[in-house]
Structures are given as C-alpha cells and as structure tokens.
C-alpha cells in the first residue's frame, strides 16, 4: 500500500525546531545533501545548515565550472542573516556547474532546500558521503557544540 511518497524523512530536533532529512540522498559532514544524478552529485544545504544560516541573501563563486576540486577546496562564499562563511567542496572531483539562478536570487535555498535550492554539481566518487542514518549520528555528535556556539538563538 505504500509507495515512495509515503517514505518519511528522518527528523533531528534542533531545540524546538524539527529539521527533516530525506532518506533518498546522502549527506556530507559540512551539512550538505547529495543526490546522485547520472554520475554527478548534486549538492545543497541540509535543513540543519539552512536553520543555522537563516535567510541566505548572497552567494558568490570563487572557481569556475570545469575546475578540479579536492575535498574541502574553497569554492565560494555565502552570506545570511546569521553568518558569513566560505563554501567548501564536500567531495573531490570536477565541478560540473553551479545553480546560476541562485546568484541573482538565493531565496530558493531557504524555500526549497531539497529541490530548486540546489547549489552545485560535482562529478566524483562520493565515497566520503554519509548515509542518512550516518548523518543523523554525526548531527547528534555536533549538536552539543552547536548549541553552546549559538547560545540560544535556535529558540527565536
């Protein structure tokens, strides 16, 4: 009686906020989701990252499509209501393309994080990516530190 639309996402509680993680993709330790698409990995920010960033309003790239990246290679920057940060490649590989629509309007990162809010695509093995359950375990390990760092802003 169930089909794919009945598959429930995993949920991680960030204070009073329920961050949902679809189980049809993998995750990187830098809080990005990864979806395999014809030999290429499409990446975007997980609900955890979007909740911490809040209202992304600026995105910029520092490398071009076609660039060979190492894992943790700086590829751009992001600014939001809560943070300014560099963006890093979650896996090694060749940068296929960026979601150019986000340059003029990054609101899709906030509004449709697991769909139109995808950020870039990398051709690579993805062997360092975590399963959804592995990502939940990773979040449990980093959440205590995150709570101390943000000092209560999660309950706003």
Residue 53, by phi and psi: left (phi above 0), alpha (psi -120 to 50) or beta? alpha
Could you state, in order of their start, the residue ranges of all structural domains in the chain?
7-143
Residue 20: which residues within 8 A CB-CB, separation 6 or more? 9, 10, 11, 47
Band of pLDDT at residue 100, cut at 50, 70 and 90: very high
Structure tokens at 31: 């809080």
18-67 pLDDT per residue, tens: 899 999 999 999 999 999 998 899 999 999 999 888 889 999 999 999 99
pTM of the model: 0.87
Q: What class has domain 7-143?
A: mainly beta
Indicate the burial class of 77 (C-beta count within 10 angstroms; 0-12, 13-18, 19 or more).
Answer: middle
Burial 36-69, CB ≥16 within 10 A → b, else e = eeeebbbbbbbbbbbbbbeebeebebebeeebeb
Comparison of pLDDT for 147 and 138, the residue scoring more: 138
Mean pLDDT of 104-118: 94
Band of pLDDT at residue 149, cut at 50, 70 and 90: low
122-133 pLDDT per residue, tens: 999 999 999 999
């Amino acid at each position: 009686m169930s089909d794919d639309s009945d598959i429930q996402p995993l949920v991680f509680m960030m204070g009073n906020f329920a961050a949902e993680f679809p189980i049809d993709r993998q995750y990187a330790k830098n809080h990005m989701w990864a979806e395999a698409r014809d030999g290429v990995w499409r990446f975007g920010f997980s609900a955890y990252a979007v909740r911490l960033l809040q209202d992304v309003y600026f995105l910029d790239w520092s490398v071009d499509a076609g660039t060979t990246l190492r894992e943790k290679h700086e590829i751009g920057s992001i600014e939001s209501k809560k943070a300014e940060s560099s963006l890093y490649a979650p896996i090694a590989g060749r940068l296929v393309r960026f979601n150019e629509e986000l340059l003029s309007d990054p609101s899709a990162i906030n509004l449709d994080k697991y769909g139109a809010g995808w950020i870039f695509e990398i051709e690579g093995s993805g062997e360092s990516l975590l399963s959804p359950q592995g990502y939940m375990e990773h979040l449990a390990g980093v959440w205590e530190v995150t709570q101390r760092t943000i000092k209560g802003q999660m309950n706003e």
